[in-house]
């Protein structure tokens, strides 16, 4: 699609979204230049790192650790928004009835991740927790493959994802994959005690793990948008800090 065609599509969207959900109007203003062109240019001289991994693998802890680093800005996953959008809790609803609410949650995840990807960073390096790519390739895929998402919902999300990734620059320079066993995540998830997640069985974490492995290790499922740095994250906090220090140079050079 040409830039002007994409800009016209964006303008049509702006007219359709009369009461935009939190954050969407600021995304639109970021995507549109004052001359109405879609921003297809990369933020020159800046790099983006996405920290990927299973639920409770230690991504937030990793971002917290790097948050004191000079010239690096961390952007955590917008889970708070997924738990409370104008008084509604799409994350909780999804765990209660994935077939009914999976599309609702994943549509909102896609929007809020787009917001994070396109948010300008004040620092040369932006470190994000997960990405719009894993939202689609791992979580939407898991809902669909496990028979919990109707095909029409999957197809609609896929069309949205394809349009977004084709027309907006969401490039990533490095993926840091915190590789864990599902059992480790299960223990950490129980320890964290997020209310909505009390229903998650080990099998769910195993399915998410399998999809991450196919995507980032076997590279047999979907395109991998950046080089991958794999970190064994089945370790204690002290050992993780050691890993982070050993890899600091590679991460910051992304
Ligand atoms: N290496 C580790 N060893 C033990 N516990 C950890 C480790 N990393 C994180 N945790 C704990 O596990 C839970 C999940 O970690 P978190 O960073 O929130 O994971 P994520 O952001 O990937 O969901 C938290 O309670 C956190 O304190
Ligand atoms: N696309 C996504 C992304 C995340 N989730 C769920 C999984 C967890 O319950 C929660 C936050 O994940 P964490 O940062 O703790 O790994 O959100 C989802 O369902 N779909």
Cα distance between residue 142 and residue 135, in whole Å: 10
pLDDT at 63 exceeding the cut of 90: yes
Nearest-atom number in ligand 1 for the CA of 76 is 21
Ligand 1 in reach of 208 Cβ (< 6 A): no
Nearest-atom number in ligand 2 for the CA of 77 is 14
ipTM over 0.85: yes
Length of the chain: 254
Dihedrals φ, ψ of 177, to 5°?
Answer: -100, 110
Q: Kindly report the pTM of this predicted structure.
A: 0.88
- Of residues 13 and 67, more confidently modeled: 67
Cα distance between residue 38 and residue 56, in whole Å: 36
Contacts 24+ apart (CB under 8 A), 10-19: 10/38, 11/36
pLDDT at 223 exceeding the cut of 90: yes
**115: which DSSP letter?**
H
DSSP states along 233-244: -SS-HHHHHHHH
pLDDT at 180 exceeding the cut of 90: yes
User: Which residues are the active-site residues?
Assistant: 129
pLDDT at 16 exceeding the cut of 60: no
| pLDDT for position 121 | 94
Ligand 1 in reach of 236 Cβ (< 6 A): yes
- Of residues 12 and 55, more confidently modeled: 55
pLDDT at 143 exceeding the cut of 80: yes
pLDDT at 32 exceeding the cut of 70: no
Q: What number is the average pLDDT over the span 117-136?
A: 97
Cβ neighbours of 220 (radius 10 Å)? 8
Cα distance between residue 182 and residue 203, in whole Å: 8
Portion of the chain with pLDDT greater than 70, in percent: 83
Dihedrals φ, ψ of 252, to 5°?
Answer: -75, -20
- Cα of 237 from ligand 1 centre, angstroms: 8
pLDDT at 237 exceeding the cut of 50: yes
- Of residues 15 and 215, more confidently modeled: 215
Q: What is the mean pLDDT of the chain?
A: 88
Ligand 2 in reach of 56 Cβ (< 6 A): yes
Query: Of 43-57, 62-76, 217-231, where does mean pLDDT reach its minimum?
Result: 43-57
| pLDDT for position 151 | 98
Contacts 24+ apart (CB under 8 A), 201-206: 205/54, 205/55, 206/182
Nearest-atom number in ligand 1 for the CA of 63 is 17
């Amino acid at each position: 699609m040409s830039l002007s065609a994409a800009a016209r599509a964006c303008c049509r969207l702006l007219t359709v979204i009369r009461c935009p959900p939190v954050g969407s109007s600021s995304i639109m203003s970021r995507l549109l230049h004052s001359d109405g062109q879609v921003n297809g240019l990369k933020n020159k001289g800046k790099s983006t790192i996405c920290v990927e991994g299973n639920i409770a693998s230690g991504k937030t802890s990793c971002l917290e650790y790097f948050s004191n680093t000079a010239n690096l800005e961390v952007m955590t996953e917008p889970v708070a928004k997924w738990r409370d959008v104008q008084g509604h809790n799409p994350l909780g609803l999804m765990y209660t009835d994935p077939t009914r609410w999976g599309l609702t949650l994943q549509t909102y995840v896609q929007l809020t991740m787009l917001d994070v990807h396109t948010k300008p960073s004040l620092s040369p390096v932006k470190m994000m927790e997960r990405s719009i790519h894993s939202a689609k390739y791992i979580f939407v895929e898991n809902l669909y493959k496990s028979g919990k998402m109707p095909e029409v919902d999957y197809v609609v999300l896929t069309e949205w994802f394809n349009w977004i990734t084709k027309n907006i620059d969401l490039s990533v320079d490095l993926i840091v994959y915190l590789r864990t066993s599902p059992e480790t995540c299960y223990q950490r998830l129980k320890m964290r005690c997020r209310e909505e997640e009390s229903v998650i069985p080990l099998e769910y974490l195993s399915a998410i793990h399998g999809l991450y492995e196919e995507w980032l290790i076997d590279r047999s499922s979907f395109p991998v948008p950046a080089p991958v740095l794999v970190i064994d994250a089945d370790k204690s906090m002290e050992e993780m800090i050691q890993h982070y220090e050993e890899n600091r140079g590679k991460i910051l050079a992304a």
